[in-house]
Amino acid sequence: MISIHLKKGYDLNVAGKPSRELKTLPPPDQVALLPDKLPFVKPRLTVKTGDRVQVGSVLFEDKANPGVKFVSPGGGTVVDIQYGPRRVIEAVVIRLDGEEAFAQFPPIPENRIADVARDKLAAALVDGGVWPLIRELPFRNIPRPDTQMPSAVFVDLSSEEPFQPVPGVYLRDRADLLRYGAGVLRRLAKRVIVSIADRDAGLLAETGLEDAPDCFPIRYRGHYPAGDPGVLLYRTKRTAKENRSWFIRGQDLLLLAGLLRDGVFPTERTVVVGGTGSPVHGHIRTRIGAPLAHLLGGAGPNGDTRYIQGGLLSGYAAPREGHLGLYETGLTLIPEGRERELFGFIRPGYSKPSYSRAFLSVFHTAPFERNCNTHGEERACINCGYCAHVCPVDILPQYTMKALRADEIEEALALGLLDCVECGLCTYVCPSKLELYQTLKNAKARYHQEMNR
Amino acid sequence: MKQTVQKLFGVLGRPFETGGKLEKLHPLYEAVETVVLWPDRVTDVSPQVRDHLDLKRFMSFVILALIPPAVYGIYNTGYQGRLASGLSMDTAGVLWTGLLIFLPMLIVSYAAGLFWEVLFSAVRKHPVSEGFLVTGLLFPLTLPPTTPLWMVAAGISFGVVIGKEVFGGTGRNILNPALTARAFLFFAYPAQMSGEVWVRIIGGPGPAADAVTGATPLALAPTLATGVRLEPALREAGYSFSTLFWGGYPGSIGATSAFMCLIGGIFLVLTGIANFRTILGGIAGVLGTGYLIHFLADPAASPWYSLNPFYHLVMGGFAFGLVYMATDPVTAPGMERVKYLYGFLIGALTVVIRVYNPAFPEGVMLAILFMNIFAPLLDQFEISIRNKRRVPNV
């Protein structure tokens, strides 16, 4: 077993930690799929408002990646297709029937996986709508179903970001499904690399993945984003060929396996809800695309509370009446923090968390309450180097940002732009409040578009 | 209290808003407002949460670290002035005299510098950067107490405009603005910047018996005959090692006390605002070069050659320059390892200039400015090595 210790990175230590208790919610009234939150996907709708859909019916296809389909996570009626600025499709909303109908796919028994040809297996995943759960590094796009075999596929079971489901909860009673999924991945990629945090490492033996053939477990410890597949790839790769490895999150692998084993699109999602602004703190078993208010048990708090989907650092702000994204497994609610403070910059700052040592909070070990204030205004980069210090993949974000501003894409690439794991820590620590993460992420996206023109 | 202040700014801010009478001065208003009232800006893109450290706190920590040398500088300036003028030496009087000398210089420095900052900010529609607050305090601390106020204004104007604003403002300058200002005065008005300028005579009965007159420690060596050893000569002139360390001698207002710079330096390093690598490198550079000269050169050839290298650390403005100017992140290299080299070369150059170039008694200013120019090259050097070690990803 490979052991990796990430010394860089940073842990936020946020208050409002969710419990390990798992609550199963009744089905919501409606579910939705959010096309514009899927990176690089150009949707072509195959349904219109009023259409009847089953669980597993195709809702839209990807123009940029022909053949890739996105299927309905619920059975019922398409009640709304929401458009954003420039006709971007924001959400396809489905009102659920009392008795949902399921589209049927041919199931594959576990002992037959090895006999199915690789392209047939890929086609089954594409048709069943679970192909988009697999993503390709370094751009984190959905791979083309016909790409050649990647050198590895990473399965990340744990996450260091606040707040994400812990494998001990979402894997409970599902070890066989995980093993089944790993068997499928073995046919798709040369190696299956299963990563797990040191604290959860006992689970690996329980699931039986530790000594499965072609399975390479990685145990890691360290600060966020230690478990990110991009970080683990950066730490283990030897040649440039490995850069295009695939990854799939542990929960997504359960969905993928569920489809092939049972022949119906699985709709179950384990989500963590937390944060100081949230009335609920814990693990919740619900549906893909469930309304956020549903997770909070009716109407969630309003006013000065921000809803963050994904994690605090890599996630995005969602509207109160929004829905859970396809990939997102966390919902964190924290106050906006619009209060002004008298002479805020020179206070001792015992309750002001900081990566630097310039606050008395260095002596504060309890979790901190967080808000969305920027805690300062934007200034020019002073080359303090905090971003380079925290970057888990040794990019120099400050120099990369300057190279990108000067349109020196070659220089940015040499600095490791594509190794960026989009963790958001550089922006988080920046005292000049520069949007380094956005700059790097946008540059990567632009480069991806250029390459695929 | 907060509500009152918020209301007050609401009223006071009206003329500065777009369309108001003082619209052009909005950067000035904004600078004052955001110092008093923390802005309420929230994130609009990911990541949704941000660190509490910002440039205001970053820069105000440098100002905090400058308090020990500044306060001691005020005391020492008053002390030396009253000693030379033969006035009573009570602490309150000494501090008062020091304040009378230093405060006008500080006010002129801030006022003249701020004028240019606000002018450039207004034209560029940028906010006023906090970096200036450091420059405006650093600069008068590097000056002799006899500097006329118009010269302070001229110096800081040159430093802010040519040293910083022509490049685009704080963060984009290649030279330390405070040192640029100091260097400008040094070369433009050499008579007022070197020689018998280190004590401000403030009238009175005349020098007391033990008043220090004559050359500063750095200017002493060239006046000595060859073959004379420098250390005893320094002691004789009243500059023992401990005097030089504690700082009770005439010199630039804030830069005489190595001890106060040590306190400031420890504060900056502990809080992570200044990088210890530059400072360690600088000390190593001075000692390394100093010992090299000490052991290799013939002590009879120059008084400098016999000097214990530790003297270089406490003489003149080296400690001040190393702690407060060499560590300026904007003009120092950004890469970790070359920071040692950068500091080392500053220390080495300081000693070389002091020992081998009697035309410039103070080497640290030129050494830092010189190395500022080389900082990007040092960075490039380390970055290219680092890039080669990466597995390519294109």
Q: Are A384 and B58 in contact (CB under 8 A)?
A: yes
Give pLDDT, residue B127: 85
Structure tokens that stand for A220 in this block: 């890691």
- Nearest Cα to Cα of residue B160 among B126, B205, B121, B203: B121
- Give A352's contacts in chain B (Cβ within 8 Å): 52
Q: Is the pLDDT of residue B214 over 70?
A: no
What is the rounded distance in angstroms from the CA atom of residue A193 to the CA atom of residue A187? 13
Query: What residues form DSSP beta bridges with A23?
Result: A284
Question: A15 — contact with chain B (CB < 8 Å)?
Answer: no
E strand residue ranges, A275-434: 282-287, 305-309, 316-318, 330-335
Alpha-carbon gap: A152 to the closest alpha carbon of chain B (Å): 16
3-class secondary-structure state, position A97: coil
Q: In a mutagenesis test of the A interface, which of B32, B36, B53, B391 is the best target, namely the one with the most A β-carbons within 10 Å?
A: B53
Inter-CA distances, A443 with A69, A135, A450, B33, B62, Å = 27, 19, 11, 35, 35
Question: A374 — contact with chain B (CB < 8 Å)?
Answer: yes
Contact at CB, B390 and A358, closer than 8 angstroms: no
Q: How does pLDDT run across A229-283, given as a tens digit for each residue?
A: 999 999 999 999 999 999 999 999 999 999 999 999 999 999 999 999 888 899 9
Question: A442 — contact with chain B (CB < 8 Å)?
Answer: no
Give pLDDT, residue B266: 96
Give the residue with greater pLDDT, B228 vs A223. Answer: A223
Contact at CB, A349 and B168, closer than 8 angstroms: no
Question: B88 — contact with chain A (CB < 8 Å)?
Answer: no
Question: A339 — contact with chain B (CB < 8 Å)?
Answer: yes
Inter-CA distances, B225 with B220, B237, B302, B353, Å = 11, 15, 8, 19
3-class secondary-structure state, position A189: coil
Q: Is the pLDDT of residue B138 over 60?
A: yes
What is the rounded distance in angstroms from the CA atom of residue A10 to the CA atom of residue A429? 9
What is the rounded distance in angstroms from the CA atom of residue A317 to the CA atom of residue A327? 14
Q: Using omega within 30 degrees of 0 as the cis cutoff, is the peptide bond preceding A105 cis?
A: no
3-class secondary-structure state, position A205: helix
- Nearest Cα to Cα of residue A167 among A155, A154, A180: A155
What is the rounded distance in angstroms from the CA atom of residue B271 to the CA atom of residue B263? 12
What residue has token string 């500091």? B343
Which one of B50, B58, B383 has the shortest CB-CB distance to A428? B50
What is the rounded distance in angstroms from the CA atom of residue B232 to the CA atom of residue A205? 76
Q: Are A154 and A246 in contact (CB under 8 A)?
A: yes
B388: exposed, middle or buried (Cβ count in 10 Å: 0-12, 13-18, 19+): exposed
What are the residue ranges in chain A where pLDDT is below 70? none
Total Cβ atoms within 10 A of residue A46: 14
Total Cβ atoms within 10 A of residue B351: 27
Instruction: Over range B29-40, report the average pLDDT.
Output: 82
What is the rounded distance in angstroms from the CA atom of residue A89 to the CA atom of residue A211? 44
- Give B45's contacts in chain A (Cβ within 8 Å): 435, 438
Strands A22-24 and A282-287: parallel
A336: nearest CA partner in chain B: B42
Give pLDDT, residue B250: 87
Instruction: List the A22-24 sheet strands across, edge first.
Output: A22-24, A282-287, A268-274, A330-335, A305-309, A316-318
DSSP run (H or E) holding A271: strand A268-274
What is the rounded distance in angstroms from the CA atom of residue B119 to the CA atom of residue B130? 15
Structure tokens that stand for A87 in this block: 């006709």
Contact at CB, A419 and B383, closer than 8 angstroms: no
Q: How far is CA B16 from the centre of its chain?
A: 34
Instruction: List B residues 159-188 in contact with A (Cβ-Cβ < 8 A).
Output: 168-172
Q: In a mutagenesis test of the A interface, which of B1, B33, B57 is the best target, namely the one with the most A β-carbons within 10 Å?
A: B57
Structure tokens that stand for B51 in this block: 């660190």
Structure tokens that stand for A17 in this block: 């930690």
- Give B393's contacts in chain A (Cβ within 8 Å): 138, 240, 243, 413, 416, 418-419
Total Cβ atoms within 10 A of residue A449: 12
- Nearest Cα to Cα of residue A224 among A351, A137, A311, A326: A311
Give pLDDT, residue B313: 92
B126: nearest CA partner in chain A: A379
Question: A44 — contact with chain B (CB < 8 Å)?
Answer: no
Give pLDDT, residue B213: 54
Question: A162 — contact with chain B (CB < 8 Å)?
Answer: no
Helix-, strand-, coil-residue percentages of chain B, each rounded to 5: 65, 0, 35
Q: How far is CA B280 from the centre of its chain?
A: 18
Contact at CB, B49 and A12, closer than 8 angstroms: yes
3-class secondary-structure state, position A323: strand
Please state the ipTM of this predicted complex.
0.90
Total Cβ atoms within 10 A of residue A1: 11
Question: B388 — contact with chain A (CB < 8 Å)?
Answer: no
Total Cβ atoms within 10 A of residue A309: 23
Question: A309 — contact with chain B (CB < 8 Å)?
Answer: no
- Nearest Cα to Cα of residue B251 among B95, B358, B144, B106: B144
Q: Are A370 and A17 in contact (CB under 8 A)?
A: no
Structure tokens that stand for A256 in this block: 């993928």
Question: B5 — contact with chain A (CB < 8 Å)?
Answer: yes
Instruction: Over range B178-207, report the average pLDDT.
Output: 82
Give pLDDT, residue A206: 81
**Amino acid letter for position B122:** A
- Give B171's contacts in chain A (Cβ within 8 Å): 379-383, 432
A366: exposed, middle or buried (Cβ count in 10 Å: 0-12, 13-18, 19+): exposed
Q: Are A307 and A319 in contact (CB under 8 A)?
A: yes
- Nearest Cα to Cα of residue B217 among B307, B85, B102: B307
- Nearest Cα to Cα of residue B256 among B108, B106, B75: B75
Contact at CB, B129 and A379, closer than 8 angstroms: yes
3-class secondary-structure state, position A423: coil
E strand residue ranges, A181-258: 192-197, 215-222, 246-249
What is the rounded distance in angstroms from the CA atom of residue A268 to the CA atom of residue A285? 7
E strand residue ranges, A1-136: 2-6, 22-24, 30-33, 43-45, 52-53, 58-62, 69-71, 76-83, 89-96, 135-136
Q: In a mutagenesis test of the A interface, which of B46, B58, B328, B390 is the best target, namely the one with the most A β-carbons within 10 Å?
A: B46
Instruction: List A residues 186-215 in contact with B (Cβ-Cβ < 8 A).
Output: none
Question: B40 — contact with chain A (CB < 8 Å)?
Answer: yes
Question: B125 — contact with chain A (CB < 8 Å)?
Answer: no
Instruction: List B residues 364-383 in contact with A (Cβ-Cβ < 8 A).
Output: 379, 383
Give pLDDT, residue B207: 63
- Give A338's contacts in chain B (Cβ within 8 Å): 40, 42
Question: B133 — contact with chain A (CB < 8 Å)?
Answer: no
| pLDDT > 70: percent of chain B | 97
Structure tokens that stand for B269 in this block: 């390093």
What residue has token string 């000494």? B94
Question: A113 — contact with chain B (CB < 8 Å)?
Answer: no
What is the rounded distance in angstroms from the CA atom of residue A188 to the CA atom of residue A214? 12
- Give A341's contacts in chain B (Cβ within 8 Å): 2, 37-38
Which one of B43, B129, B386 has the shortest CB-CB distance to A372? B43
Q: How far is CA B238 from the centre of its chain?
A: 25
What is the rounded distance in angstroms from the CA atom of residue A325 to the CA atom of residue A310? 8
Contact at CB, A382 and B130, closer than 8 angstroms: no
Question: B3 — contact with chain A (CB < 8 Å)?
Answer: no
Give pLDDT, residue B4: 84
- Give B334's contacts in chain A (Cβ within 8 Å): 383, 385, 388, 396, 398-399
- Give the angle subtended at the CA of B290 by the CAs of B284 and B291, to the nearest 5°: 90
Q: Are B326 and B346 in contact (CB under 8 A)?
A: yes
Lowest mean pLDDT among A211-225, A261-275, B2-16, B355-369: B2-16
Contact at CB, B390 and A416, closer than 8 angstroms: yes
Alpha-carbon gap: B393 to the closest alpha carbon of chain A (Å): 6
- Give A345's contacts in chain B (Cβ within 8 Å): 35, 38, 54, 56-57, 60
A25: exposed, middle or buried (Cβ count in 10 Å: 0-12, 13-18, 19+): middle
- Nearest Cα to Cα of residue A396 among B258, B338, B373: B338
User: Mean pLDDT over all residues of chain B?
Assistant: 88
Radius of gyration of chain B (CA): 23
Q: Is the pLDDT of residue B103 over 80?
A: yes
- Give B38's contacts in chain A (Cβ within 8 Å): 340-345, 375
